[in-house]
Amino acid sequence: MIVKHDMNYLTVLNSAINHKLAPPLAVLRRQQFLIRVLGVGGENRMQGSKFEADSDNILRAITPVLDPNRHKGQAGKVAVIGGCREYTGAPYFAAISALKIGADLSHVFCTKDAAPVIKSYSPELIVHPVLEESYSVGDRDKDHISRRVVAEVDKWMERFDCLVVGPGLGRDPFLLDCVSEIIKQARQSNVPVIIDGDGLFLVTNNLGLVSGYPLAILTPNVNEYKRLVQKVLNCEVNDQDAHGQLLSLAKQIGGVTILRKGKCDLISDGEIVKSVSSHGSPRRCGGQGDILSGSVAVFLSWARQLILADEGNLIISPKNPTMLGCIAGSALLRKAASLAFEDRKRSTLTTDIIECLGRR
Ligand SMILES: NC(=O)C1=CN([C@@H]2O[C@H](COP(=O)(O)OP(=O)(O)OC[C@H]3O[C@@H](n4cnc5c(N)ncnc54)[C@H](O)[C@@H]3O)[C@@H](O)[C@H]2O)[C@@H](O)CC1
Ligand SMILES: Nc1ncnc2c1ncn2[C@@H]1O[C@H](COP(=O)(O)OP(=O)(O)OP(=O)(O)O)[C@@H](O)[C@H]1O
Ligand SMILES: [Mg+2]
């Protein structure tokens, strides 16, 4: 691959996602060095903020090559915990996005009545109808059903590179109790956890579930962020000091990574703050946050793999895999949203954006 000053963002994404051959590691390192020295990345340069993440180079650096020697599973196995009577779209969006970006396997753990619906959207997903809501469980059965639900997920746990907890989960108290146990099991197994949607409702009221876990990522939207700030910092959202407040919040929750979604996505692990403000779409149709959580799961898994394989020689910054996953996921979603909007304008839907995740 030839690195040029004027290489545009599309070329970068395209080469990151659609690499055909695996260049040797030495060549990759050289490429990364050149990219860094030459400062490739038109759109990001234009953002001009010292906080702006070097997202195109990060995307390229952490995306694995399509190597014919790799076997199924090596590009990532993710699971989404979500999907109930009301919401079947959200877990589907998160899980299918993970596959479209390049994960090998994508599971969904949802309630019994959501499962056939989610399966009917796509034969690509592995759907487990294991979660239960209060309406289907008698008081006397709660204990053993809860144990069964947690065991069903736990037997798969070691195989997952990342869990996404919350898209379309709903807020049923019994279901959320079971999900608390699932988060605890993931933590014990050192599996990264992305908390989104109703998972944030659960965690905001039980901060101990993620507090001090460096492999936890929270992805709040405007409302979810407001509730988190009120609960943890005991104050209102302060947009005059958005960076400082986010930093304090992440620090206060023991160094979890927080991706605050909005016009510009802000990301902090309590040590640093980065932003992704590349052009997205003016459409705010529901489901874009779900694409984001599925995307972050894949990029986080890839970043962790790379960091482990590269034994600390990675020349991109930041080095924290959760930060890298958030930056890459955010940049890719925003680019896909912008491409979809070019085609569909006001009629752009989340499914259109998903179709653009790997587009040239
Ligand atoms: N097709 C689906 O199944 C979808 C399900 N979703 C799920 O729905 C559940 C609830 O998520 P919500 O995002 O609605 O929860 P929120 O707590 O963010 O939203 C609650 C209410 O706030 C409003 N709101 C949202 N963004 C706002 C903004 N920027 N300014 C002012 N008001 C705003 C919404 O219209 C909604 O009425 C989650 O489980 C989520 O994953 C969403 O992901 C959207 C798609
Ligand atoms: N005003 C905006 N301008 C550009 N992009 C935005 C804007 N607001 C949000 N986004 C992008 O959309 C993505 C989803 O953010 P959003 O706030 O819609 O999440 P959400 O409410 O959780 O979505 P969902 O409907 O899936 O639950 C973010 O990563 C962000 O990049
Ligand atoms: Mg959401």
Is 244 domain-assigned? yes
Among the listed residues 317, 333, 353, the one whose alpha carbon sits nearest the alpha carbon of residue 278:
333
Among the listed residues 205, 219, 264, 245, the one whose alpha carbon sits nearest the alpha carbon of residue 94:
219
> How many Å lie between the centroid of ligand 1 and the Cα of residue 87?
11
The number of the ligand 1 atom at minimal distance from the alpha carbon of 168 is: 39
Is 196 domain-assigned? yes
Report, in angstroms and rounded to the nearest whole number, the Rg of the chain calculated over CA atoms. 20
Is 283 domain-assigned? yes
Q: What whole-number distance in Å separates Cα of residue 287 and Cα of residue 168?
A: 10
The residue nearest atom 35 of ligand 1, judged by CA position, is 286
Give the CATH number for residue 137.
3.40.1190.20
> How many Å lie between the centroid of ligand 3 and the Cα of residue 68?
36
The number of the ligand 1 atom at minimal distance from the alpha carbon of 88 is: 3
Question: Quick one: tokens of 147?
Answer: 């144990």
Contact status, residue 294 vs residue 93, Cβ threshold 8 Å? yes
CB of 43 within 6 A of ligand 2: the answer is: no
**What's the pLDDT at 9?**
39
Contact status, residue 180 vs residue 150, Cβ threshold 8 Å? no
> How many Å lie between the centroid of ligand 2 and the Cα of residue 335?
13
The number of the ligand 1 atom at minimal distance from the alpha carbon of 167 is: 41
Are β-strands 77-81 and 216-218 bridged in parallel, bridged antiparallel, or unpaired? Answer: unpaired
Q: Which domain holds residue 167?
A: 77-355
CB of 329 within 6 A of ligand 2: the answer is: no
Is 207 domain-assigned? yes
Question: Quick one: tokens of 171?
Answer: 């807020």
Q: What whole-number distance in Å separates Cα of residue 189 and Cα of residue 210?
A: 14
The CA distances from residue 140 to 131, 136, 146, 176, 179, in Å, are 17, 12, 11, 18, 19
Residue 117, φ and ψ in degrees, nearest 5: -65, -45
Number of structural domains in the chain: 1
Is 188 domain-assigned? yes
E-strand spans in 133-229? Answer: 162-165, 193-195, 216-218
CB of 121 within 6 A of ligand 1: the answer is: no
Among the listed residues 106, 110, 90, 86, the one whose alpha carbon sits nearest the alpha carbon of residue 98:
106
Is 36 domain-assigned? no
**What's the pLDDT at 316?**
87
Question: Quick one: tokens of 169?
Answer: 């989960």
Q: What whole-number distance in Å separates Cα of residue 2 and Cα of residue 34?
A: 10
Is 173 domain-assigned? yes
Is 58 domain-assigned? no
**What's the pLDDT at 360?**
65
CB of 334 within 6 A of ligand 2: the answer is: yes
> How many Å lie between the centroid of ligand 3 and the Cα of residue 261?
9
Contact status, residue 305 vs residue 334, Cβ threshold 8 Å? no
Contact status, residue 40 vs residue 56, Cβ threshold 8 Å? yes
E-strand spans in 166-280? Answer: 193-195, 216-218, 257-260, 265-268, 273-276
CB of 222 within 6 A of ligand 1: the answer is: yes
Contact status, residue 352 vs residue 10, Cβ threshold 8 Å? no
The residue nearest atom 7 of ligand 1, judged by CA position, is 168
**What's the pLDDT at 178?**
98
Q: What whole-number distance in Å separates Cα of residue 58 and Cα of residue 275?
A: 13
Q: Record the pTM.
A: 0.88
The number of the ligand 2 atom at minimal distance from the alpha carbon of 223 is: 21
CB of 170 within 6 A of ligand 2: the answer is: no
Contacts of 236 (CB under 8 A, 6+ apart): 226, 229, 230
CB of 290 within 6 A of ligand 2: the answer is: yes
- In tens digits, the chain (360 residues) has pLDDT values of 333 333 343 444 445 544 434 445 544 454 444 344 333 333 344 455 889 999 999 999 999 999 999 999 999 999 999 999 999 999 999 999 999 999 999 999 999 999 999 999 999 999 999 999 999 898 889 999 999 999 999 999 999 999 999 999 999 999 999 999 999 999 999 999 999 999 999 999 999 999 999 999 999 999 999 999 999 999 999 999 999 999 999 999 999 999 999 999 999 999 999 999 999 999 999 999 999 999 999 999 999 999 988 766 778 899 999 999 999 999 999 999 999 999 999 999 999 999 999 986
> From edge to edge, which strands make up the β-sheet containing 162-165?
126-131, 105-111, 77-81, 162-165, 193-195, 216-218, 257-260, 265-268, 273-276
